[in-house]
Structure 1
Amino acid sequence: MTVEETTLKGCFVIKPNIFRDDRGLFFESFNDKVFKEETGIESVFVQDNISLSAKGVLRGLHFQTGRFAQAKLVSVIKGKALDVCVDIRKKSETFGQHFSIILDDIEKTQLYIPKGFAHGFLALDENTIFSYKCDNYYNKSTESGILFNDKTLNIDWRFPEEKLIVSEKDQVLPTFEAIVNAK
């Protein structure tokens, strides 16, 4: 597998070596030793989550705060999604910047998102199955988020906004400015 840092410090794209033949394919989806050698990060994932989404479903931008902050390793098992993460670490040189990537079931690319980032994705295919490996447990009392169409962040979701399917909860998340001023 290859590991490349994105434009955001501590955020990495992981591309597996895929072996295909007439029987199908095989790939190593994660190797902690290689990941640590390439990034210097010791990963300990304690919770795996799976979501199934229809085309046009946008989930995010979510994060947990304080001692319940989570680093995530995300991938698409089936279908295709636009994955987006936002650096909300105030002392980071990339604070307020975002990174986006298409994740799909063909390339099997993954994205490692460190603690201190908001995260969301948009399902681009019907029945997209999205996987999240988390290094901390879900804690409802520390969950937060940023409005997906925040004007300051100006994220291009590459999809008509009027066709997005967004939960009521995600439609009323605070703006980036409100989150920054609350911290």
Structure 2
Amino acid sequence: MKIRPLSIEGAFEITPVVHGDPRGSFTEWVRFDKLAEVVGHPVTMMQGNLSVSAKGVVRGIHYADVPPGQAKYVTCARGSALDVVVDLRTGSPTFGLWEGVVLDDTSRRAVYLAEGLGHGFCALDDDTIMTYLVSTTYNPGAEHGIHPLDPDLAIDWPTDTPLLSGKDIAAPFLADARGNLPA
């Protein structure tokens, strides 16, 4: 397993070893002990989520109040997606910047993002299945979003016609969310 830091502090790309033979493949897709060595603290996950999306669906940019925040470990079980991490921490030197990693069912890469970072993705195939392990359980009063098509973020989504949820369409732009962002 290779763990590589992304350009945004607290975000990492994880590339597991995929063992294949004529029967199929086997992958150890998460090792929290190894991740803890890199991030410098124990990684505890409290809930698992799964989404199924059609090609061109954009989900996010989502984040949770800090504290406690919500760290995420995200991978693609089927299909492929451009997974995006956005730095929403107002005191961070990379505030407002984003980085994307293609996650798919071949490489089995994953992304870990720390509390205070925003997350979203765009499905590149129909029936793309994304799995998320998260450090806190769902708390609707602490969950927030930034409009994924915010021109100030300028995320290069790989679709000409993104399909968004009503919640994501109604999300504020980054400039309008300033008083509600993590520090």
Q: Would you say same fold, with TM above 0.5?
A: yes
8 Å CA contact 2:66–2:116 kept in 1: the answer is no
Please list, as runs of the form range in 1=range in 2, the aligned pairs for 1:115-154 lying within 5 A after superposition: 115-154=115-154
Code of the residue aligned with 1:53 in structure 2: it is S
Listed one character per residue, the Cα deviations across residues 76-123 of structure 1 (whole Å, up to 9, x for unaligned) are 000001111111111212111111111000000000011101111111
Aligned partner of 1:166 among 161, 164, 167 = 164
1:31 — aligned with what? 31
How far is the alpha carbon of 1:39 from its aligned partner? Answer: 2.8
Look up the SS of the partner of 1:141 in the other structure: helix
Match of 1:88 in 2: 88
TM-superposed CA distance for 1:68, in Å, is 4.2
2:174 aligned to which of 159, 171, 176: 176
Unaligned stretches of 5+ residues in structure 1: none
Question: What is the number of residues matched between the two proteins?
Answer: 181
Closer/same/farther in 2, CA of residues 126 and 149 from structure 1, 3 Å limit: same
* C-alpha distance in 2 between matches for 1:67 and 1:139: 12
Contact 1:68 1:137 in 2 (8 A): no
Over aligned residues, Cα RMSD in angstroms?
A: 1.1
What residue identity is the alignment partner of 2:173? T
One-letter amino acid of the counterpart of residue 167, structure 2: K
Compute the TM-score of the two structures, normalised by the length of structure 1.
0.95
Bigger Cα displacement from structure 2, 113-122 vs 173-182? 173-182
| 1:57 pairs with 2:57 | yes
The one-letter code of the counterpart of 1:116 is: G
- Equivalent in the alignment of 1:69: 69
Q: Percent identity?
A: 37
- Residues of 2 paired with 1:13 and 1:19: CA distance? 19
Asked if 1 retains the 8 angstrom alpha-carbon contact of 2:4 and 2:12, the reply is: yes
SS at the partner of 1:50?
Answer: strand
Structure 2 alignment gaps of length 5 or more: none
Write the letter of the residue equivalent to 1:7.
Answer: S
Offset at 1:67?
3.0
Structure 1 Cα separation of the partners of residues 35 and 140 of structure 2: 29
- Give the corresponding residue for 1:20: 20
